[in-house]
Structure formats: C-alpha cells, structure tokens
Structure 1
Amino acid sequence: MNIFNNHKRLYITAGLLFALLTYLTVIVPAFQNQYSNLPLPGTKPLSGDAKAGKLIYIAEGCVGCHSQQVRNVEMDKMFGSRPGMASDYANIGRTSIWQNTATLMGTERTGPDLTDVGNRQASKDWNLMHLYQPRSVVKQSIMPSYKWLFEMKLKPSKNDVIVSMPAEFLNGKAGKLVAKKEALQLVAYILSLKQTPLPTGTVPQEFLYKKAVGEIPSSKLKDKTVDGKALYEANCVACHQANGEGLKGAFPPLKGSAVVTGENLELYVDIIMNGYDARADYGVMAAVGTNMNFTEFDVAAIINYERNSWGNKDKEVTPEEIKKIMDFIKIKVSAENK
C-alpha cells in the first residue's frame, strides 16, 4: 500500500472519498427531497414588501414567540384548516447569498401560531394597531410594543397610512399616528401568511387526539347547531370586543348599531362577507366571511347572536334567507369586477 507512504496521494484520495460520500449522503438526498416536495399549486410568492417584511420579522426576533407550523394534533386546529406539510415550506429560498434559509417554523408559542393569520386576522388596521400597542386590541397581551415603527405627524401627507388608534393609547401626543414603511412591510408579510388549499382530491393529514363530542339528538339538529357566540369570539371579538362596544376611534360598536338592528339585511351580510371601509370614522374591516369561508349557517348564527346581545333585540334570521342574499351579493360583486 504505497498510498500510506505518499502523503500527497493519501490526502488526494481521502479528499476524493470525502467528496463522494458528501455527494451521496448529503447532496443527492437534498435534491431528491426538493423534487419530492414541490410547492402546492396556487402557492403565491412573496411580494417585494412582504420579502422586506420577512427580514424585519427576523430582525425583531418574532420567531422567539411565534411559530409557523400546524402540528397534527387537535389543539393546533385553531391555527389552520389542516396540519402543515413539507410542501408548505418548499418555496422558501435562502435569505441572501450569505444567509441560510429562514423557515421561521419556531419552537415556542408564547404568542399564537401565525401559519394562517392572513386569513384569521386579515385586517391591516388591526395588525398596525397591534404592532403599535398590543394591549389596545388584546388586553391580556404580553407582546412588546413596536412604537419605533410609527411616527406622529401634525400634517400627514396624502400617501401616509394613518393608524386609527384610540386617544388613550397615544399618551396625549398631538397629531396623527402614521405607520412607517417598515411597519407596512412587516404587516404585508404577516398578511401573506396563509395556508394554500390542497388540490382537489388530496386528503389532508388528520388531526389526532380529538376531543370526544357527544352525539346531538336529531330533534335538535337545526340552526342552533352553529354557535354564533363561538364564531363571534373567534372572528369578531378582537375588533368589536366581547361587550360589543368596539374601540372608540378604531372599530365601531355593534351594541345599538343601526346596521345590526336595522332592516338592511343585504348591507349587513355584505359587510360580514366582504368587509367595509369607513375610513372617515373607523379602520377598514377585512372580508372576514370570505376569508373564513363562512356558510349561510355561520352568517345567520353570527347575525342572530349580535342582534340579541348587549341589549340589542331584533328578529332572528334563517340560513335560507341569508343564502339568497349571499348568492345575490356574489353575482353583484362578480358583475362589478368585470
């Protein structure tokens, strides 16, 4: 074995062997994994602002408190419609030529998971308020405020994004609260976090350890099977509050609202499904119903809860009449978009 007596030959042979093993055990499996787990059809790439917002998300250490992975256990079902899968992360590339891929899946949930937050909380105004002062929208929040992403202006320009923040959280500062470019980019990234629907016919992984649910007697299988209060608490309470009084200067009250107790049911349903922009008085409401795929049963349940809570008292609606209105609104919106 003359190779052991020739250090050049020994090092070259060892180097070639190391390169071969690296290729077989690292590079080949990596390429196989990449081609076996392609992005889901319909996956949208990040916009320029969202990419910049992701870098801010990394720089601010948001991953220390928020994860982006829905595990296949029942307790994670509130964060997404299905458990996460490899394809959800397949289109994530290197942060830069000098920085490795940042999947931001996280390991701790001091705050909620953000996998599908772009659908769960799609309000741009709410997210800006949450960044400036989390306690303004979530009283129990322990998240730090990111006030350096905002500034006060006495005379905002027409291109400035003014945040509808209640005066009590501005500490007597004069002027209007304006979101800086960095705040808008961070919110753009947060709102881009949405689970891509699986292709038709693809069965998602099941959630495990489901809670036992008692069988409902057939005599009770009516409209009441949809819990309007639970839907309100999951989708509306962050803005309109548990007491229905909203946030002064930010989100309107539903208690005593002319929309809630009025006769214009079409407007009411349209706001739930497609959102509403009352910029002169309040922040913009996102299209909650559309984002969360509300059915006529869901919309009817929420309306009936809101119409008969906090002192409101009005007649209940049926899923059948809500279905007719939802169909009409879809036709109207489709015609307007042509």
Structure 2
Amino acid sequence: MNKLLQIAGGAVLIYICIVLGIAVIPAIDLSKTPPGPDVKPLTALQAEGRDVYAANGCGYCHTQQVRPLPEDKVFGRPSAPGDFAYQTPELLGSERTGPDLTNVGSSKPSDVWQYIHLFDPRAVVPESIMPNFKFLFRVVTTVPPGETAVPVPAAFAPKEGQVVPTAQAKALVAYLLSLKQTSIPGYGMNGGMGGMTSAAPAAMPASPSTSASASGGYNYDAAKGRALFTANCSACHQATGEGVPGAFPPLKGNAAVDSADPTLHIHTVLQGAHGVTIGGVAYSSVMPPFAAQLSDAEIANIINYERSSWGNHARAVTPSDVAAVRAKGQ
C-alpha cells in the first residue's frame, strides 16, 4: 500500500511539475507582455460584439493571427504578442474557411459593407460560402427614429420593408471594425490590406483589354494590377467594376476614373474617400486610404487596371505620377 501511495504521489507531483512548466509559468510570463504601440482595450460595445462573434462561431471559419509566411502577406504584417494584450482569451481560430480578420477594420472600414456582408455575404462577395446572419437584423415598414436602413442591393433585399440592424449586429460590427493592426517599428505594414481570399490571387495573363501604356516607356503590369485590385478593391467595387448600388460607387464609367487628368483618381486611392456623389447617387460608405499600405508602383498598377477595364479608356499613369500626387498631399 505504501508503495502504491508513493507511486501515486510521485505521479501527481510529476504531473503538477509538467503543468507548471509548460502551462502555468509560460502563461504568467505571457500575461506580462505589454500592449503593442497604440493597442487599446475594447470599448463596452466592442466587447459585447466580441461575445456575439464567439457565440455565433465566427472563430470556426476565421482566424485572427497573421503568420510570417508569404501567403499571409495579404492580411497584414505578422502578428505580435502585444497585439493580444487586451484579448483574453485570444480568438486566434484554427481554420481559414474564410479570410483572416486581424486587420479587417482597416481593410473593410465601412460599417455599411459589414452590415450588408452579414445580412447576405453574396451581396458583396458573390463567391462567398459564408452563411447569412439575417437573424441579426429586423425588417421594418418604417425605419425607427435614430436608426439607419442598410442599403441591401435589390437582388438580396426583402420584397417588402427595410433592413435595420439589431443591437447585436451593431455590437458585432463595432467589434469587427476595431480589428486593426497598428504599426510596429521593424515590422512595417506590408502591401495589401486584406481581401476576401486567403491568399493573393494567381496572376492572370495580360490581355489587350487590360493593357495600357504610359509615356516614358512605362508599361504597367496587367496581371499585378488585376491581382492587386482583386485583393484590395473588388470586395466593394466588385469584379465587374459596377460597385454595389446605393452602397459602393461604380468604377465603370466613373468620370474620375475615365478622366484624362488622373489627379483625382490617384488622390482617392492614396487618401481614401467618404461621402461622395457619383451619377447623382450619394454614397456614405468609407473608402480606406492606401497611401501607407501600397507603393507607388502598386497603386499605379491598380489605377491603370481600373482605367483600362469595363470600357474605361483613360491614359495610363506611372509610379512617378503617383509619387507626385503623394508628395503634394493632394
């Protein structure tokens, strides 16, 4: 009996030592990790949204960790310990059926886009396999005072009534918009703000309809232009360039995109836009600035893709054109 007690006691002691060594002590050490630069605690509304995110199983399909691998570059810089200082427990996820959401608040900063995407993902991402979350919305005949209807495209909207978000939807969107990477010295924000795919699209062969040239012997890379547009722009403006009616403006036939003077087009990509009216239609959604995320050459490739697609035939721009507008801060 004494031997059994000794063996049992020894086994328990070994188990305790193992737990302390590989779990408790490292956890205590990690808990002392200071927050990264500009990393802030969640607000009460954002924290509520985090609970909604977890309760609805979003973490089963979406990760919140950017690995230091080439295929993760599209999602942002590699994650750092300080990014999770106020996230307990961390919702890292384990599978990417959908894209990583570490930086979705920067790549998709429009609450309008987020609401439409939750109501019916196919309305903004046609190839999406994500289930809809219509139960987070109400369909009303008259929009209550203080509420704003979600401009769901007609093909996806209810036959009658208007769509308004519930308190849970508002909290969830507030949480999603809080997911923004901050700049860390030595890391840097890489090219690409995160698209709706888990990796940058494969290069597409250039075709006459997507080729353009500029003075000075510069020829833009049509394949890169298309890939960059798909990763950074197509979720809102759509692959067709037609945007989402009432939510995101079209690029097809857009006067700024098809103008002989590319200054406004370049400025918009560099600095973003909010509250624009195009073709008599007002768009209140937010377009993020890309000045800090994309190089002059990458922005030139995107702009040239837009200026030579969907029937647009404007002259091509060069990286020097982009640099000139960037330098002026226009």
- What's the TM-score once normalised by structure 2's chain length? 0.76
Q: Which residue of 2 aligns with 1:117?
A: 104
1:251 & 1:41 partners in 2: Cα distance? Answer: 32
2:174 & 2:183 partners in 1: Cα distance? Answer: 20
Which structure 2 segments of 5+ residues have no match?
3-8, 190-216
User: Any conservation in 2 of the 1:307–1:314 contact (CA below 8 Å)?
Assistant: yes
Q: Which residue of 1 aligns with 2:229?
A: 232
2:219 & 2:56 partners in 1: Cα distance? Answer: 46
Query: Within 5 A, what are the aligned runs for 1:176-325?
Result: 176-199=162-185, 201=186, 224=220, 227-263=224-260, 265-272=262-269, 273-278=271-276, 281-290=282-291, 293-325=293-325
Superposed displacement of residue 55, structure 1: 0.7
User: Any conservation in 1 of the 2:120–2:132 contact (CA below 8 Å)?
Assistant: yes
Instruction: Output one character per residue of 1:226-259: Cα deviation in whole Å (capped at 9) or x when no partner.
Output: 8222211111111211121222333222111112
2:73 & 2:237 partners in 1: Cα distance? Answer: 24
User: Any conservation in 1 of the 2:119–2:134 contact (CA below 8 Å)?
Assistant: yes
Report SS of the residue matched to 1:151.
strand
Query: Within 5 A, what are the aligned runs for 1:87-106?
Result: 87-93=82-88, 101=89, 103-106=90-93
Q: In the alignment, which of 56, 77, 80 is matched to residue 85 of structure 1? A: 80
1:179 & 1:60 partners in 2: Cα distance? Answer: 16
Report SS of the residue matched to 1:260.
coil
Instruction: Output one character per residue of 1:68-90: Cα deviation in whole Å (capped at 9) or x when no partner.
Output: 122233222222222x2333223
Q: Which residue of 1 aligns with 2:35?
A: 39
Report SS of the residue matched to 1:197.
coil
Which structure 1 segments of 5+ residues have no match?
5-12, 94-100, 205-220, 331-338
1:203 & 1:159 partners in 2: Cα distance? Answer: 40
Q: Which residue of 2 aligns with 1:207?
A: none
Q: In the alignment, which of 45, 53, 57 is matched to residue 53 of structure 2? A: 57
Report SS of the residue matched to 1:168.
coil
Count of aligned pairs between the two proteins: 293
User: Any conservation in 2 of the 1:161–1:178 contact (CA below 8 Å)?
Assistant: yes
2:30 & 2:87 partners in 1: Cα distance? Answer: 14
Report SS of the residue matched to 1:277.
strand
Q: Which residue of 1 aligns with 2:149?
A: 162
- Structure whose residues are more often helix by fraction: 1
Superposed displacement of residue 24, structure 1: 6.2
Instruction: Output one character per residue of 1:145-181: Cα deviation in whole Å (capped at 9) or x when no partner.
Output: 111221223332452132111112113123x322222
Report SS of the residue matched to 1:156.
coil
Report SS of the residue matched to 1:284.
strand
Report SS of the residue matched to 2:163.
strand
The residue type paired with residue 248 of structure 1 is: P
User: Any conservation in 2 of the 1:166–1:248 contact (CA below 8 Å)?
Assistant: yes
2:69 & 2:38 partners in 1: Cα distance? Answer: 26
The structure with the largest alpha-carbon Rg is 1
The residue type paired with residue 328 of structure 2 is: F
Superposed displacement of residue 63, structure 1: 0.9
Distance 1:150 1:261, change over 3 A: same
**Structure 1 consecutive aligned stretches of length 4 or more whose deviation exceeds 4 Å:** 20-29, 201-204
Query: Within 5 A, what are the aligned runs for 1:142-157?
Result: 142-157=129-144
Superposed displacement of residue 127, structure 1: 1.1
Superposed displacement of residue 315, structure 1: 1.4
- What's the TM-score once normalised by structure 1's chain length? 0.75
Distance 1:203 1:243, change over 3 A: closer
Sequence identity percentage: 39
